[in-house]
Structure 1
Amino acid sequence: MAHKGTAMPLAPQMALEVTVVSGEGVRVPSGRPLSRGAYAVVRTASSSAPTRVDDDADCHGYPYWDEAVRVALPAGARWLDVEICRARGGGGAGGGRAEPVAAARVPVEDFSVGPPGHLHCLSYRLFNSACGVQRRNGIVNITVKRIDGVLPAARLTAAGGKAVDYYAAGSASSGGSCCVAAAEQGKPAAPVGTVMGYPAVGC
């Protein structure tokens, strides 16, 4: 039990559940809309996790995943990255050749307000992942939720692809949401509002 006036030790990392909902107006380097083979990767300095591949050939630059992945964010980190890729050669997110298409850098301050369990709905402008002049390349829609202190243990994926256990500490929170709920054709609508992202991949 901590004595009055004694600060509790900070967790070495924050456990996050990031749901990559969809992309909008994303194009491959040739200028054509991103179609079959699209997937997203959420990266931090200590872990990374991919979504499934959207094999819909008719998405025309609007891939849809609505898939949650879990990553660990080291203490003191200022951002996480979301990168949109295209799987080539039939390998999917777990194999074959991956072609980076666009990326966004998500500042930690955008989702660090509120207690664990609070859901933040965010949209970011994507920029080309290729070296050279950074150009806007569509939008990515995500939700971010801090899960340490909410789940007794979170299964995370390390940067090398090996699963690791993150044992959360603290009491559970009822959380809440900053999303504006909506639905269209049985699918969640994109988060309201767009935040200017930053290029996540440098040369």
Structure 2
Amino acid sequence: SFDPPPILVSPQLQEHMARKGTAMPMPSMTLEVTVVSGEAVRVPSGRPLCHGAYAVVRTATSSAPTRVDGDADCHGFPYWAEAVRVALPAGAPALDVEICCARGGGRPAEPVAAARVPVEDFTVGPPGHLHCLSYRLFDSGSCGIRRRNGIVNITVRRLDGAPVGAAGKAAAVPAAGKAVGAAGPSGSGASCSGAAAGLGKPAAPAGAVMGYPLGC
């Protein structure tokens, strides 16, 4: 399991950083990321992503894939609603969510699109808060041209101190799936917060957030 020591900052240093306007370093944390769905995702040839779609959540120290969407004709709108668990190291500015296409015949999977999720989008409020987020995807190709390629809908919940399994699968996948099952596309905060409240869980403190990858 990934359990690095916490960052210890003296009160004097905290006061100095506050006076200088310097942000406090973000400690390490365990995250439960539920990749809900994708919207209007296309493969490099320009056709809609129609089969073999799965997502991978990546940090600097760990990564975890979802299952492959069983719908052979999702037509660019894959659906997973699957929770995975990853470790985010101290000081990391973001995590990445990548959409891939599994291919048969022993060929490697094909990266399709990716989005960067800034840490500040899911660190508002205490651990356990459910943050419903949607991000613009950009092509993962090696051509060097960053083109928009659909949207990915996710939820993020901090599980500080919880272990990360070898496969990155969260222990409470069914509950997480229920929590996001009613989440609407493209950052519809009301439905996601309502689903969380229905399960007795706290809603995201700032509602749903539409984010964009850093540096776009």
Task: Please give the range of the TM-score, normalised by the shorter of the 2 chains.
Answer: 0.7 to 0.9
Relative to structure 1, the CA distance from residue 24 to residue 114 in structure 2 (aligned partners, 3 Å threshold; closer, same or farther) is same
- List alignment gaps of at least 5 residues for structure 1: 165-180
Q: Distance in 1 between matches of 2:104 and 2:114?
A: 22
Task: Identify the structure with the greater helix proportion.
Answer: 2
Aligned to 1:143: 155
* AA at the equivalent of 1:141: N
Q: Distance in 2 between matches of 1:64 and 1:182?
A: 11
- List alignment gaps of at least 5 residues for structure 2: 1-10, 14-24, 170-178, 189-208
User: Superposition pairs for residues 1-203 of structure 1, below 5 Å?
Assistant: 13-89=28-104, 97-131=108-142, 132-148=144-160, 153-157=162-166, 187-190=182-185, 191-192=187-188, 194-198=210-214
Post-superposition CA distance 1:21-66 (Å, at most 9, x none): 0000000000000011000000000000000001312210000000
Percent of pairs identical after alignment?
Answer: 70
Give 3-state SS (helix, strand or coil) of 1:88's partner: coil
8 Å CA contact retained: 1:105, 1:199:
no
Task: Identify the structure with the greater strand proportion.
Answer: 1
Q: Distance in 1 between matches of 2:39 and 2:150?
A: 5
Q: Distance in 1 between matches of 2:48 and 2:95?
A: 25
The count of residues paired between Structure 1 and Structure 2 equals 164
Give 3-state SS (helix, strand or coil) of 1:189's partner: coil
Give 3-state SS (helix, strand or coil) of 1:65's partner: strand
8 Å CA contact retained: 1:127, 1:199:
no
8 Å CA contact retained: 2:81, 2:180:
no
Relative to structure 1, the CA distance from residue 119 to residue 60 in structure 2 (aligned partners, 3 Å threshold; closer, same or farther) is same
Relative to structure 1, the CA distance from residue 101 to residue 20 in structure 2 (aligned partners, 3 Å threshold; closer, same or farther) is same
Relative to structure 1, the CA distance from residue 57 to residue 74 in structure 2 (aligned partners, 3 Å threshold; closer, same or farther) is same
* AA at the equivalent of 1:195: G
Relative to structure 1, the CA distance from residue 87 to residue 182 in structure 2 (aligned partners, 3 Å threshold; closer, same or farther) is closer
